Amino acid sequence: MTTFIQLHLLTAYAPANLNRDDAGRPKTAFMGGVERLRVSSQSLKRAWRCSETFEDTMGGYIGKRTRRIGIEYVYQPMTDAGVAEKMASAAAEKIAAQFGSLKKDKNASSVEKKLEIEQIVHVSRYEIDLIKQLVDVLIAEQRTPGEEEVKLLRKEQRSVDMALFGRMLASSPEFNVEAACQVSHALGVSAVTIEDDFFTAVDDLNKKEDAGSAHMGEQGFASALFYTYICISRDLLIKNLGGDEELAKRVIAALTETALTVSPTGKQNSFASRAYASYALAEIGQRQPRSLAAAFFQPVREADQIPAAIVRLKHQRESFEHAYGKCTDAHQELNVPEGQGTLAELLAFVSQ
């Protein structure tokens, strides 16, 4: 049977704009009849995957998500080495086309734009190394690649972020990777009102008679205690990593630490909105996973939201177990307000 690791996090943010919509305002969602602050799972995963915390632990096991494969890994290195632009462009087109369809923009103003692929694609570290090795050969021999040489997609030696979050290639579905990790949108546990900050910037060299602002603007912000749910299939993660159980344990620990300590990057310079989780519940078991978001369909209205939300979360877990029986085999808590548990203990638990 599949073993699932589930993480339930409560993270408090002071006024911030962590994840913006198309109008630049904090993202929201309606739940339980009220508007809640929201951070999308895409925003969370990118912040975690690109963080120093994750990088320091996983090092050379992290891939890249990009449309610029042909430009960054082929065209630029070849032209920098003195290869003719026409030859470098032809080589870049052949290699990039293996990862996705090239853009069909007749009005593209530069060679670089013409070499981008239509959709962003996840490329493993191993595949990047293979591209670089091929480009070195092409530079040395002053030629474009052959049909067999450009078959660079690989099923083996996947990057850890690809193993966690998956890969979808419409043109080459045999190289798709099923994500071993599912991440919810982070939702505020209480109702929210988005506020607007009107701000001005003053020119330091203004003369006294010209005391007006040099710039005026407006930005939205809000505060919330967020509930985030993460579910990891340990068996699928091991499979995605080619059966490497020790690496899978390191990945789970790295993701857990990152999820507890790394914030989305939106408007950090304006709000310094960096936070650690105030509460984390980790569970391991083989039964069907379940979120505990139902605990917050009725918005938390207490002034002291963190302890109230923790009580709600625990009660929801107990209610599920009363109705369905034991849902997990073991669990571990990190409760900052109560001084219960440590990050080290939690990481040891999830990576056992």
**37-54: per-residue pLDDT in tens?**
999 999 999 999 999 999
Q: What is the pTM of this model?
A: 0.92
Backbone angles phi, psi at 12, to 5 degrees: -100, 130
Q: Tell me which residue has tokens 């493993």.
A: 124
Share of the chain above pLDDT 70, in %: 98
Q: Could you give the C-alpha distances from 112 to 80, 86, 128, in angstroms and in order?
A: 14, 12, 19
Confidence of residue 108 (pLDDT cuts 50, 70, 90): low
Task: Bin 32: left if φ > 0, else alpha if -120 < ψ < 50, else beta.
Answer: left
Query: Which stretch of 109-118, 151-160, 181-190 has the lowest confidence by average pLDDT?
Result: 109-118
Terminal CA-CA length for the chain: 17
Nearest CA among 174, 162, 152, 183 for reference residue 241:
162
Tell me, what's the pLDDT at 114? 84
